[in-house]
Amino acid sequence: MIKIYFLGSGAASPSIRRWHSSIAIEVNSEIGLLDCGEGCQIRLQQVGLSPLKIRFVAITHLHGDHFIGLLPLLQSMTLFSRKDNLYIIAPKEIRDLVDVFLNVSKHKLSFNLEYLEPTDTHIFNRISVKGFRVCHSIESMGYLVEINYRGFIHKICYTGDTRPCEDTVNYCKKANILIHDATFSSEDSEEAVISGHSTVIEAAEVALRAEVEKLYLTHFSSRYRDEDKLVSEARRIFKNTILVKDLDLVIIP
């Protein structure tokens, strides 16, 4: 079966309820990570996923809340005597950051890292991953994940941080699942524009235009407490909307 674990659903300033961005996709015990925010490896333990089964990590961009968890995760993989290659799909600067960490910490990995270009298509058994450019405050990617499972292609589209973006509509067309930045309420739309994020309504409008089956909202600002209001805003535009919480699990049998 296909399992999607929402390990962290918060924005740049985390809270006890919402940790930094990270999503694990498991297909027949093979795992891929979409972003790897702070605390990712603890969340993996909480849901019972082994770091040794992670085949690839796809990083959307180099804001800390989306990649800082990668560095301690690499260290833990060595402590667990990992031997298999780990594939890192990310902006090219991620290699420099990992090298600095390894040099300063004097840590030697027990396995090889392979860095892959985000905009190429990468295939890991049943899982295909391809990045597309989104509209954030720095260079940033979204990822289209296609899973060949039981004779069907299941499309999961993840935007990372973004404003409403035409490439998202195009790449995520008719996806089974769209996981979209929904940092702000519509009341804070000006801040969304300035910071390069989306409101819940804007995420719903993208889902409607892309004709996806389900919309999962994530990356919420910690300022909001009335989450029912947020999802209600989105459902006025796109009915099949789910507001993600940390440790939520979606199963495709």
Active-site positions read: 65
Q: Which token pair is 141?
A: 């990617």
CB atoms closer than 10 angstroms to residue 208: 14
User: Which residues are bridge partners to 87 per DSSP?
Assistant: 56, 114
Contact 155, 190 (CB under 8 A): no
Residue 202, phi then psi, degrees to nearest 5: -65, -40
Q: Which token pair is 181?
A: 């930045």
103-to-14, 93, 96, 205 alpha-carbon distances in Å: 28, 16, 10, 45
Q: Which residue type sits at 213? A: E
Residue 143, phi then psi, degrees to nearest 5: -135, 130
Phi-psi region of 202 (alpha: psi -120 to 50; beta: other; left: phi over 0): alpha
SS3 184: strand
Contact 102, 5 (CB under 8 A): no
SS3 83: coil
